[in-house]
Structures are given as C-alpha cells and as structure tokens.
Amino acid sequence: MQLSETAYAKINLALHVRRRREDGYHELESLFAFVDGGDRLTARSAAQDELRVFGEFAPQLTDPFGNIILRALGVLPHADGLAIQLEKNLPVAAGLGGGSADAGAVFRMVREAYGLPDDWRERAARLGADVPACVDSVTCIGRGTGTELEVVESDLAGRSVLLVNPRLPLTTGPVFAAWDGTDRGGLPEGPCSRIAQEGRNDLEAAAIGLCPPIADVLAALRATEADLVRMSGSGATCFALYRSHDVMQAAAQRLAAEQPGWWRMEGRLR
C-alpha cells in the first residue's frame, strides 16, 4: 500500500478574538482558507508506525517522538503500521497550521485506507484546535476555539496568493497572552471576499510586539499590487492576495530581490 497527501497550508483570511475563556482558551471567529501547496506526506504499510522527516524545515522539528503525525496515528484505528515520510516544506511556528495540516493529511490517508471512526472530529480536536479544519482543508468558518466548523462556498477559490515569512518562529501561546483583551466584534456577513476585506486579525498587534519584522513583511507586501494583505494566525507568516497569477509572481520576484532571506511560497487558494 502506498499513500500520498499534501498537507495544505492554512491561512486565516480573518481572525477575530472575542474573549478569554475560563479554561484558558480563547473564543474565536475565523475564516479559514487553504493554499494548494504545503508539506508532503507519503505512507506505506509497515510492522509498526514510523516517521522520517526531511526537507528544508526538518531541523526545526526537534521532538520526533512527540510529532503530531505520530500522535494522529495514535488516536486513529488502522489495521497495519504506517511508515510515513514527511517532506517539511512549511516553516514551523509560522501561523500556517503546519503541524495541524500534517495531522489532517494523516486523517485523510487513514480515511482512504481504512475509513475514519464516527467521532473523528473529536479525536482531531484533541490534537489541536486547527486540526478539524485541516482534515478536509476546505474554506470554512471556525467558531469557539476554532473547532466548531461551518463549511462555506468560497468566491475566492483560485485566487493567487503569496505567503511570506521572515524566517522567525513565533509560538502561539505568547501571542494570545499578549492580546489586549478587547472584543472588536464578530466576522462580517456576506461572501468570503467581503469577510476577508472587512475582517481583521486581532492578533496582529500582539505578534508585531513580539516579532517586529512582521511589520516589515506587511509593509513590503502592501507595496506590491496586492488586493489584500494580512498576517495569518498568530504569525509570523503574512499573505497577500492578487488579481492574477502574473501580478503575484511579479511581487514574489520583487520581494526575492529585496529580501532574499525571507521564506516565500506562491500558490492559489483551494
């Protein structure tokens, strides 16, 4: 048996933080979207579950035994062991849900080979708030901690997108801890394009306070012919949407010349 999946990069077209909960989590409203590229996973039958990681950002995964891929296999029934190879193309702690996307890809591979249990959503949520959205990797609105999902039809599918990260990891916990606690209201009503344009990322100021180069990335993207520029998740990755692939590629080439040290990924929204 040979299985392969792309762990699609997740971006938050809008991320509204409503309140801190008594359990320590935050009440959110977010419009999730997915880019047509990301990490790559392949799997084959084996005597026991195994994981091998390679790729540009493999060295950032310092705890292979605690990797979310093995944890995902641990919560899912599968008749045989699976030996998984992960090509780590997405930066770690980058606001792209990279680990969650990897777990989502594992759920899809297990679904293809063995089927998923009826309570797979609950099992996914135990791994992380973004994991349920990453299983199907389709545009959706997340509420609660991000696990209460409403799939929506997207009028942004196919739009060209450029992802940029200053190659600085930024863990989620400190960013949420630095949020100013102000509820600025829920997501706008209407199609995804309107939600994205009129929405915001309530973690942006906190993330910039912890990682000032995010502001430089945002400014550089806004200097291109982008239709929308925003930070994704808790940072430090930012994204820009463009009216055409040619305009996006021109922006990517400009940033490559101006900031050769920054990580970039070109793609389209799924």
pLDDT tens, position by position, 191-238: 999 999 999 999 999 999 999 999 999 999 999 999 999 999 999 999
pLDDT above 80: residue 65: no
Helix (H, G, I), strand (E, B) or coil at 257: helix
Give the global pTM. Answer: 0.95
Quote the tokens at residue 144: 């609660």
- Is 35 exposed, middle or buried, given 0-12, 13-18 or 19+ CB atoms closer than 10 A? buried
Active site residues: 10, 130
Tens digits of residue pLDDT in 162-198: 999 999 999 999 999 999 999 999 999 999 999 999 9
The CATH topology of domain 2-151 is Ribosomal Protein S5; domain 2 (3.30.230)
How many other C-beta atoms lie within 10 A of the C-beta of residue 228?
Answer: 18
Nearest C-alpha neighbor of 68 from the set 56, 86, 55, 95:
86
CA distance readout (Å), 184 to 19, 86, 202, 231:
10, 39, 8, 17
pLDDT above 80: residue 51: yes
Q: Which CATH superfamily is domain 160-268 in?
A: GHMP kinase, C-terminal domain (3.30.70.890)
What confidence category does residue 64 fall into, taking pLDDT thresholds of 50, 70 and 90?
low
Cα–Cα distance measured from residue 214 to residue 236, given in angstroms and rounded to the nearest whole number: 6
Segments making up each domain of the chain, as ranges: 2-151, 160-268
What angle is formed at CA 236 by the lines to CA 151 and CA 128, rounded to 5 degrees?
45
